[in-house]
Chain A
Amino acid sequence: MSDGDVLAVADHRRGDLRDVSFQLLTAGRELADDLGGDLHVAVISGDVDSFADQLAREGVDTIHTVSEGEEFNHDVYVQAVEALFDELAPTALLAPNSVNGLDYVPAVATRLDVPLTTDAVDLTYDESLEVTREMYGSKVETTVEVTATPFAVSIRGGEWPAAEPGGDAEIESFPFDVDESEIGSRVTGFEEVGGGDVDIGDAEFLVSIGRGIEEEENLDLIRDLVDATDATLSSSRPIVDNGWLPKNRQVGQSGKQVTPDVYLAIGISGAVQHVAGMKGSDTIVAINTDPNAPIFDIADYGVVGDLFDVVPALIDEFGG
């Protein structure tokens, strides 16, 4: 059986390791310490030698490079991780809960027949694995116990600090031949979306609107506030999904990352994918009817109230 080792699989895209990969090293080291094992890191596809040099940080024991293909392909990842898993027999498989993580981790866990817990914000192991994760749109946290080994866990970005440079990781090339007959998907290109006339990333003051606005017509109210305060208009995802605002106004994981002086979130609950795009703002203000809305956890100033009362009053303040 497995001996407490952790296998952590790094994430990269178009030539760059993603930030979460360095956080993964910290999560992996902590878990390996709990388990009394080593931290193995795998990096698959792309310029693996350069990636391995960057991943050789504090706490990493061995880095396995799998030189196969350029960009992420889930079929290659599934095969490579399966081969690494067979070879190393780790107790834990760890990966980022990124969009590419969503695309291969459940398949690997299924193929290896190991239990999977996703989007962990904390992990401890003491006779069994305890995973902390959120539910109900971040309104509650839960503890999930996993009583079998080996197991797979994906971790949320931004929850662990990046590992420090240094350490004395060994870098090994992992011999691996892909089975081409099992490749059933092909990446044909990438496209940047959400360009256009405004760049909400440049704004000093963002008035950002969420699903609390209810109807497209009601956006006029927010536009009046934007005019009265000379702000820039942005939004959460549902407003863009509904086609009420163009994609270049969307703040969040799949939209823009913004860092204005003031971010005024109106009728936005504060889902993790939204917060990922605005938590670096200098001052965050939230207007929401729900006192338990997660947005208040990261807000500096809060107004618990109905936007249809507060926003008109605010427009009056600025002589709108």
Chain B
Amino acid sequence: MKILVTVKEVAEAADDFEIEGDDIAERYLEYDLNEWDDYAVEAAVQLQEAGEDVETVSVTIGPERSEETIRMALAKGIDRAVRVWDDDIAGADLDVAARARLLAAVAEEEEPDLILTGVQANDTGFGATGVALAEELGYEWAAVVNHLDMEAGDPAAAVRRELEGGVEELTEVDLPAVLTIQTGINEPRYASLRGIRRAQSKEIAPKALSDLGVDESVIDSPIRRTAMYEPETESDATYFEGDPEDQASELADLLREKGVAQ
């Protein structure tokens, strides 16, 4: 059995930041493995540990810098990685369809039985790539999965989808399938020193559009971000100023006044 895990390096904004053009200025951004993908990686590694002959491969679309993030997945036990990038991709505004097509091109080479993605990336928050990828490939899928019950070789996966308001849907999904993984499905491990050392010698195969045999037109998108701004705050919050003792004292007065604490 082969499992493909999509991972994305996401940018996080510092507390204080400035916007330049249509994005936060680079100096205020820090990069990390997407929170949701960390759970997807863990789910893949757990299936690998529980089964025999399970291969795990991770795929990312990202610049050379993102190899740091990919190494984290490799250090946690993923066998090898593919990184899709070239100058054309670097210059493009990738939309959901473009990402799905690029990932699909890798999946067509790898032919995995199961693809795990995160529910969403926490920078852009589109929450659409995994399901679009499934349709692109003609795979089945399930979105927002917080419980996965399957063993290598099973023809279907038993999953729970986390709906709103504390309700879970129990669903059977035929394989091959894409599952978009929700946080909390497992406890992502920390990479061990040994894992980090071993990751250094694992393969990260670079792939350009031409390597994947996809045409440049695949990344053309009619969707473009044209502006970014700090939302006008609708807030009329009263702020408690001063040192922590002053702040606490005002807050305590408020709680007493509201009659919720004495």
Q: Which positions 3-46 of chain B face chain A at CB distance < 8 Å?
A: 11-13, 15-17, 19, 22, 24
Q: In the complex the two chains form, is A74's CB within 8 Å of B244's CB?
A: no
B233 near A: Cβ within 8 Å? yes
Q: In the complex the two chains form, is A109's CB within 8 Å of B15's CB?
A: no
Residues of B contacting A145 with CB < 8 Å? Answer: 223-226
Interface-lining segment among A53-61, A172-180, A308-316? A308-316
Q: Which positions 233-251 of chain B face chain A at CB distance < 8 Å?
A: 233-240, 244-245, 247-249, 251
A189 → chain B, closest Cβ, in Å? 4
A291 near B: Cβ within 8 Å? yes
Residues of A contacting B15 with CB < 8 Å? Answer: 289-293
Residues of B contacting A296 with CB < 8 Å? Answer: 233, 235, 237
Interface-lining segment among B48-56, B64-72, B126-134, B189-197? B126-134
In the complex, residue of chain B having the shortest beta-carbon distance to the beta carbon of A112: B135
B242 → chain A, closest Cβ, in Å? 9
Query: Of B123, B223, B261, which contacts A229 at CB under 8 A?
Result: B261
Residues of B contacting A189 with CB < 8 Å? Answer: 169-170
Q: In the complex the two chains form, is B134's CB within 8 Å of A107's CB?
A: yes
A115 near B: Cβ within 8 Å? yes
Q: In the complex the two chains form, is B247's CB within 8 Å of A142's CB?
A: no
Q: Cα distance A314–B233 when bound, in Å? A: 27
A96-127 interface mask toward B, CB cutoff 8 Å, 1 = contact, 0 = none? Answer: 01111011111101110101111100000000
Interface-lining segment among A23-31, A35-43, A190-198? A190-198
Residues of B contacting A285 with CB < 8 Å? Answer: 251, 254
Q: In the complex the two chains form, is A317's CB within 8 Å of B168's CB?
A: no
In the complex, residue of chain B having the shortest beta-carbon distance to the beta carbon of A256: B166
Residues of B contacting A194 with CB < 8 Å? Answer: 166
Q: In the complex the two chains form, is A115's CB within 8 Å of B141's CB?
A: no
In the complex, residue of chain A having the shortest beta-carbon distance to the beta carbon of B230: A140
Q: Which positions 130-146 of chain B face chain A at CB distance < 8 Å?
A: 130-132, 134-136, 140-144
Q: In the complex the two chains form, is B248's CB within 8 Å of A317's CB?
A: yes
Q: Cα distance A4–B54 when bound, in Å? A: 50
Q: In the complex the two chains form, is A103's CB within 8 Å of B261's CB?
A: no
A122 → chain B, closest Cβ, in Å? 11
B144-156 interface mask toward A, CB cutoff 8 Å, 1 = contact, 0 = none? Answer: 1000000000000
Residues of A contacting B229 with CB < 8 Å? Answer: 140-142
Q: In the complex the two chains form, is A115's CB within 8 Å of B122's CB?
A: no
Q: In the complex the two chains form, is B222's CB within 8 Å of A147's CB?
A: yes
B237 → chain A, closest Cβ, in Å? 4
Q: What's the interface size class on A, roughly?
A: 35 or more
Q: Cα distance A74–B144 when bound, in Å? A: 13
B90 near A: Cβ within 8 Å? no
Residues of B contacting A105 with CB < 8 Å? Answer: 128, 131
A110 → chain B, closest Cβ, in Å? 4
Q: In the complex the two chains form, is A106's CB within 8 Å of B12's CB?
A: no
Q: Cα distance A142–B129 when bound, in Å? A: 19
Q: In the complex the two chains form, is A304's CB within 8 Å of B254's CB?
A: no
Q: Cα distance A104–B187 when bound, in Å? A: 28
A303-B240 in contact given A186-B171, A313-B247, A314-B251 (Cβ < 8 Å)? yes
In the complex, residue of chain B having the shortest beta-carbon distance to the beta carbon of A131: B223
A102-B183 in contact given A146-B223, A302-B238 (Cβ < 8 Å)? no
Q: In the complex the two chains form, is B222's CB within 8 Å of A115's CB?
A: yes
Most buried by A among B162, B172, B222: B222
In the complex, residue of chain A having the shortest beta-carbon distance to the beta carbon of B143: A103
A22 near B: Cβ within 8 Å? no
Residues of A contacting B209 with CB < 8 Å? Answer: none
A99-B24 in contact given A110-B136, A292-B15, A310-B244 (Cβ < 8 Å)? no
In the complex, residue of chain B having the shortest beta-carbon distance to the beta carbon of A73: B171
Q: In the complex the two chains form, is A193's CB within 8 Å of B168's CB?
A: yes
A140-B254 in contact given A99-B161, A115-B97, A317-B248 (Cβ < 8 Å)? no
Q: In the complex the two chains form, is B126's CB within 8 Å of A257's CB?
A: no
Q: In the complex the two chains form, is A254's CB within 8 Å of B162's CB?
A: yes
Query: Of A18, A115, A188, A291, which contacts B223 at CB under 8 A?
Result: A115
Q: Which positions 131-151 of chain A face chain B at CB distance < 8 Å?
A: 133-148, 151
A230 near B: Cβ within 8 Å? yes
A113 → chain B, closest Cβ, in Å? 8
B interface residue numbers (CB < 8 A to A):
11-13, 15-17, 19, 22, 24, 95-97, 100, 119, 122-132, 134-136, 140-144, 160-174, 177, 180, 183-184, 187, 221-231, 233-240, 244-245, 247-249, 251-252, 254-255, 258-262
24 interchain pairs (CB within 8 A)? A14-B167, A74-B141, A97-B127, A98-B164, A102-B131, A103-B143, A106-B96, A106-B135, A116-B96, A116-B132, A137-B13, A142-B22, A145-B226, A147-B224, A148-B222, A190-B169, A191-B160, A240-B184, A247-B166, A257-B165, A297-B235, A300-B238, A313-B247, A317-B249
Among all A-B residue pairs, the 5 with the closest Cβ atoms: A313-B248, A241-B184, A148-B222, A317-B252, A205-B260
